[in-house]
Amino acid sequence: MEILDLVRLNLLSPMVLAFVLGVVATLVRSDLKFPDEIYTALSIYLLLAIGLKGGAELSETALADFWAPALMTLLLGVSIPIVAYVILRRLGRLEVADAAALAAHYGSVSAVTFAAVQTFLIALDIPFEGFMPTLVAILEIPAIIIALVIARVALGQGGNWGEVLRELLAGKSILLLLGGMVIGFLSGRAGLAQVAPVFVDPFKGILTLFLLEMGMVAARRFRDLRRVGFFLIAFGILMPIVNGTFGIWLGSLAGLSQGGAVILGTLAASASYIAAPAAVRIALPQANPSYYLTASLAITFPFNLAIGIPLYYGLAGFFY
């Protein structure tokens, strides 16, 4: 009941509504198009802004508070892809490559979902730890590596590991997140204040614009929904709920505040759509992109945005 209220509140936020507008635009075949360059610019902005704020906060945090959550996050990044892979192979009967590809996506993380849950909590005035962006960075990569290792072992392939690793670590999302964090950390709150009219105040508005575009992107994948089948649709909804609950629980064990645990849960529940697809396409080309892109973008992302976030907030009540 309280969760339903939160869902309603969340659904009526400009961000979620903008996502819906994007979906509608695609469904009515509007000529509205978001230039790719603007999409790229907005995502650079979001990642850098998340990093900057996180870094500035981190510079005021006792690092002793930080190791437990960091470790738990790493644990999430290692365990989720393994669990997901097993489920996909056993229950879903997917090919090795496809199962590993999906495992990489669900173990990794979506920065926009992070931005959305952060905005949700701020709107409700619920406090959370300032170092959360660090956890986004920690969670992004391990799952991808583990899933790729699983695939290579199962398929008996070798391959250019060094190159894949470099590409992952130098990938733009990690670079901007970590880079932004370092900038924020070194220049501190005073530095952040100087650029706040760009990187702080307009954050929600820019996120709204970005979600308009995400709605169009997700909706273009809708026609693949039939192709991916019922199992993947169910997976794209249930796996996040499982991962989200797991993340909240680990967050509570790690001593995070309730808000922090909701964020960690949402991170666990979210599926990557930047770093993972790029790495998987290169390292596991035989996996069918329709599966992982559709599940991540057309099922899990909208689910988390609209229902998952308030749901995880509600679920956190059981742990606090």
Partner 1 sequence: MPTTKLKLVTIISETILEDRIIRELKQLGVRGYTVSGEVRGEGTRGLPTVDFGGQNIRIETLVNPELATQIMAYIAEHYFADYAVIVYTLDAEVIRSEKYL
Q: How far apart are CA 299 and CA 257, in angstroms?
A: 29
191, interface contact from a copy of itself, partner 1, Na ion, none, CB < 5-8 Å by kind: a copy of itself
Q: Hunting for tokens 């619920």 — which residue is that?
A: 126
Residue 58 sits in the site that holds a copy of itself (CB under 8 A): no
Tell me which H or E stretch contains 197. helix 172-199
Nearby residues of 224 by Cβ (< 8 Å), 6 or more positions away: 290, 293, 294, 298
Size of residue set near partner 1 by CB under 8 A:
15
314 binds, among partner 1, Na ion, a copy of itself, none (CB under 5 to 8 A by kind): none
Residue 125, interface with a copy of itself (CB under 8 A)?
no
Residue 308 binds which of Na ion, a copy of itself, partner 1, none (CB < 5-8 A, kind-dependent): none
> Residue 277, interface with partner 1 (CB under 8 A)?
yes
289 binds, among partner 1, a copy of itself, Na ion, none (CB under 5 to 8 A by kind): partner 1
SS3 of 258-274: the string is HHHHHHHHHHHHCCCCC
Residue nearer to a copy of itself on the CB measure, 75 or 196: 196
Q: Which does 24 bind (CB under 5 to 8 A by kind): partner 1, Na ion, a copy of itself, none?
A: a copy of itself
Longest dimension (CA), the chain: 54
C-alpha 206 chain-centroid distance: 17
| DSSP per residue, 26-93 | HHTT-S----HHHHHHHHHHHHHHHHHHHHHHHTTS-GGGTHHHHHHHHHHHHHHHHHHHHHHHHTT-
Q: Which residues bind a copy of itself (CB under 8 A)?
A: 12-14, 17-18, 21, 24-25, 28-38, 40-41, 44-45, 48, 52, 123, 166-167, 169-172, 175-176, 179-180, 182-184, 186-188, 191-192, 194-199, 201-202, 204-206, 208-209, 212, 278
Q: Which residues bind partner 1 (CB under 8 A)?
A: 36, 39-40, 217, 274, 277-278, 280-282, 285-286, 289-290, 293
